[in-house]
Amino acid sequence: MSDQNVAYYAPKFDELNISYFKTEIPIALKNYKDKVQITKQNEVHSWDTSIQPLEEAAESLNRIWSQLEHLNAVANTPDIRATYDELLPIVTNFETEIMQDGDLYKIYLEIYISEDFKSLTDAQQIIITNAIRDFKLCGVDLAPESRSEFKRLAEELSDLENQFSNNLLDATENWDYRVNATQASVLAGLPKLALDIAHQKAKDQNHDGWIFTLDFPSYYAIMSNAKDRELRREFYYAYSTRASDQGPNANRWDNTDIINQILAKRARLAELAGYSNYVAYSLVPKMAKNLEDILQFLHNLIVRAKPKAEQEFKQLQDFATKTDNITQLEAWDIAYYSELFKIQQYEVSEEALRAYFPEPRVLTGLFKLVRTVFGLQIEELSGFQKWHPTVRLFKVLDKHNNLRGYFYTDLYARDGKRSGAWMSECISRMRFSNNLLQHPIAYLNCNFAPPVDNNPGLLTHDDVITLFHEFGHTLHHVLTQVDYYSAAGMNGVAWDAVELPSQFMENWCWQWDVIQDISENIKTGEPLPRAIFEKLLATKNFQSGMALMRQIEFTLFDLRIHAKNGKDQNKTVAQILDSVRSEVSVVPIPEFNRFQNSFGHIFAGGYAAGYYSYLWAEVLSCDAFAIFNKNNVYNNEVGNAFVTQILERGGSKPAMELFKAFAGREPEVDALLEHHAIA
C-alpha cells in the first residue's frame, strides 16, 4: 500500500543529485540566518517569537543535510563524496557560528530567567537549558581570538573525521581475495551461502571462481569457517591493518596521522572551553558526571569478568590443542575454534541457523512482537522512491491507530556502503507554528549477507540480534511525542543513555515465543524446534566474559587517549592501546594489528570519550528487561509504561529521571552481571 502522508514530505531520492544539494543546503542556511536576525531584532523574546522559529530553521537544515549524509554512507559515489566533502565545512562552520553568537545566547538566558520559563513544557525548558549549556561548550564566552580558534578547530575536526571514514571505506573496498576453480581446496569449511555470494561477486566481475572481500559478512565467513589457517591469517592481516601503515595497502589510506591530529585538536578544543581534557569536556551533557565514576564502574566489571574471560580462553586453547594440536592460539584462530567449540559443546552452528531466519520472516515476527508488547501496528508501503532496489519502507501506527511515523530498511552489504549497522534520522518529528505536525522517518541500516539466486536473505542469530538492536533505536526515533526538533526522538538524549532502547530490544531474541514467530525453515516452513532453541539458549553466555573484556578494552582505550593524563601523557596512541591490552585483554594480539585505525565509533562516529556508553546503557537495558521478566515479558501494562516513560519522551527530561519514572528506582548493576552470567 502507498501512503499520501509520507509521499508528501519523504525524500525524493530519484531527484537527489549534486545540483539539488548544492542549491538547497545554501538556501536552508540562508533561511536559518534570516530567522536568527529576525529573532535578535524582536523586542520581546519568548518561546513562540524566538525559539520556535529557530527550531523550525534547524529542522529544515537538518532535513536536507541528513539526506546527503545518508547517501554518503549508503551510496558513496565519487560525486556524492565530493559534494559532501565540499559542503561539510560550510555546514560545520555555520553551526559553530550559531552557537558562538553572543546576542543569541543572551536571548536564551533572558527567557531562562523570566517568569514565563516556569510555564513552558518539560521539552521546551530542557531545550533552552541544553542550548545555554551548548553555547558555553562551543565557546560563546571566549575572547574573540579564542572563539575564532575554536571555530577553526571544529571545522578541521569535522573534516578529519570525514577523512578517517573515507579512508576506512576505501581501504575496505580496495582489497579482495580471488580464488580460481583449480584452487577451490583452499575454501574448505566455508558454508554454501558464503561460497554462493563469493561466486556471484566473481561472476559480476567476469572472474571464474570466487571473490571474497573485507565486507564483514565475507570476512567473518572466512574467519569463523575456513579450515586453512594461512588463509585466515591473510584475511586477518588485511582486515586488522586497514587504513594504516601495515598490511597489503600499507600507507595508502593511513589514518595514523589523522588520529593524532584529531586527538590534538580535541584536546585543544577542550582546553579552550575550560576543561582539563576532552573526557571532562565530553561528559558535560552525559549521565556520567566524571571520569572517576566511569573508571570505578569499569574496575568493578573487570574484577568480576576477567576471571571468567581467562577461564573461557583457557578452555578454547585446550580445545584447539586437542582438536588440531594448536599449541598457541593466534588472533586469526579465535573465531574459527570458537565456532567449532560451540558446535561441539552445544551442537549449534550460526551458519546452520541461517536456514531458520529468512529476513522476511524475522521482520514479520519482530512486528508481531511490538504489536503484542507495545500495541504497535507496522505496515509496509509501496510506490516510494528509494536509493537501492532492496530498500523497503514501513508505516508505524499506535494502538489507537494514530500515525507515529515511518522507517526505511536497508539491510544488506554492498559496494559503496559503509560497514556496520546503525539507525539514523531522516526526518524528525516537528510541530510547526501553523500547527502542521510532521511525523518522523528513520533509516535502519545493516550489512547482512545479501540474498542469492532470488532467495531471501538468510540471517544468523547474531544478525537477528543486530536487527533488533537497530530497531530499538528506530522505535526511539519514531515513537517520540515531543513536538520540537531539539528534544524529539534521540535528540537531546544523554549520549550514554541512547543505547537503552536498542540494547533492551536485544533481549527478546532469546525468548521462546519470539523465536517461534521470527523463525521459519526455508525448506520445511517449520519454526526452530524447541530442542535446537534450548541449545541456542545455552550459548547465550558462551564466551561472554571474553566479549565483555573486549568491550572494556575499547572503552578504556577511548578514555585514556582522550584524557591523556598521568602515565599516558607522553605515550603514543599505540602505546596506550598496548598498555590497556596488557591490563585487560585475555586474547593474543599481533604486533601488526592496527585496530585503532579503523575504530570509526570514536574517530568518526560520535562516540569520542563516550564509548563507555555501551556498557553504561547496558546496565539500564538489562535492568529494564528484568522488570519485564518479573511481570511476564509480554505484559502490556509494562510495555505501555516503557513506551510512555522512555520511548515517547525523547530528550524532554534527563535520562535518569525517565528511567526512574519507569522503574520506580535508580538502575542496579546486578542485572547486567546476571545477563552475562557473571557472579
Residues 6, 3: Cα–Cα separation, whole Å: 6
Q: Are residues 154 and 15 in the same domain?
A: yes
Domain shared by 103 and 140, yes or no: yes
Q: Are residues 231 and 135 located together in one domain of the fold? A: no
- Please state, in angstroms and rounded to a whole number, the distance separating the CA atoms of residues 420 and 645: 29
Catalytic residues: 470
The stretch 298-326 carries a mean pLDDT of: 97
Over residues 555-573, the pLDDT tens digits come to 999 999 999 988 899 999 9
The model's pLDDT over 652-672, given as tens digits with 9 standing for 90+, comes to: 999 999 999 999 999 988 889
CATH code, 33: 1.10.1370.40
* Residue where the block lists cell 549521565: 287
CB 432 within 8 A of CB 440: no
Give residues with Cβ within 8 angstroms of 427, minimum separation 6: 9, 10, 63, 66, 438, 439, 440, 441
Q: Are residues 213 and 226 in the same domain?
A: yes
Structure-block grid coordinates of residue 533:
532453541
Residue 121, in any domain of the structure:
yes
Helices marked H in 249-333 — which ranges?
256-272, 278-283, 291-324
Residue 533 lies in a domain: no
User: What value does the mean pLDDT take over residues 13-35?
Assistant: 96
Query: What is the Cα–Cα distance from 528 to 435, expressed in whole angstroms?
Result: 49
Q: Which 8-state DSSP code applies to residue 121?
A: -
Q: What is the rounded average pLDDT for all residues in the chain? A: 96
Boundary of a domain, candidates 611, 642, 671:
611
Domain boundary among 122, 144, 170: 170
| Helix H or strand E segment including 200 | helix 192-204
* Phi, psi values for residue 140, rounded to 5°: -60, -30
Whether residue 649 lies inside any domain: the answer is: no
pLDDT average, residue stretch 493-499: 95
Please report, for the domain that includes residue 559, its CATH number: 1.10.1370.10
Grid coordinates representing 227?
579450515
Residue 280 has pLDDT above 90, yes or no: yes
Beta bridge partners of 177: 212
Q: What is the pLDDT at residue 547?
A: 96
Domain count for the chain, please give it: 3
190 and 275, same domain (yes or no): no
Element (H, E) at 39: helix 18-41
Q: What angle do CA 648, 650, 653 make, to 5 degrees?
A: 110
In this prediction, residues 303-323 reach a mean pLDDT of 97
Distances (CA, A) of 20 to 34, 57, 59, 507, 666: 21, 19, 18, 42, 48
Write out the three cell numbers for 239.
Answer: 582486515
The answer on 150 and 79 residing in a single domain is yes
Nearest to 237 by CA among 330, 327, 351: 330
Task: Evaluate whether residue 531 is within a structural domain.
Answer: no
Question: Would you say residue 72 lies in a domain?
Answer: yes
Q: If residue 536 lies in a helix (H) or strand (E), which one and from where to where?
A: helix 530-538
Considering the domain architecture, whether residues 122 and 81 belong to the same structural domain is answered as yes
The residue written with cell numbers 499520501 in the block is 4
Q: Is the pLDDT of residue 679 over 80?
A: no
Maximum C-alpha span of the chain? 81
**432-453 residue pLDDT tens:** 999 999 999 999 999 999 999 8
Is the pLDDT confidence value at 499 over 80?
yes
525: number of Cβ within 10 Å: 8
Count of all residues that appear for the chain in the document: 679
What confidence score (pLDDT) does residue 1 get?
54
Is the pLDDT at 2 greater than 70? The verdict is no
pLDDT digits (tens, 9 = 90+) for 68-115: 999 999 999 999 999 999 999 999 999 999 999 999 999 999 999 999
User: What's the confidence (pLDDT) of residue 359?
Assistant: 98
Q: How confident is the model at residue 551 (pLDDT cuts 50, 70, 90)?
A: very high
Using 50, 70 and 90 to split pLDDT, how confident is the model at 276?
A: very high
Distances (CA, A) of 146 to 143, 150, 283, 572: 5, 6, 22, 27
Residue 575 lies in a domain: yes
Q: What is the mean pLDDT of residues 316-331?
A: 98
Cell triple for residue 301?
Answer: 566489571
Same domain, 125 and 223: no
186 and 128 in a common domain = no
pLDDT digits (tens, 9 = 90+) for 466-485: 999 999 999 999 999 999 99
Domain boundary among 185, 214, 240: 240
Asked whether residue 215 is assigned to any structural domain, the reply reads yes
Q: Is residue 322 part of a domain?
A: yes
Domain hosting residue 583, numbered range: 256-348+543-611
Do strands 441-448 and 422-427 pair parallel, antiparallel, or not at all (unpaired)?
antiparallel
Give tens-digit pLDDT for 581-629: 999 999 999 999 999 999 999 999 999 999 999 999 999 999 999 999 8
60/154 same-domain check: yes
One domain, residues 166 and 182: no
Q: Which three cell numbers stand for residue 399?
A: 494502538
Q: What is the pLDDT of residues 641-654, one digit of tens each?
A: 999 999 999 999 99
User: Do 153 and 74 fall within a single domain?
Assistant: yes
Q: What's the mean pLDDT in 272-297?
A: 96
CA distance 561 to 569: 9
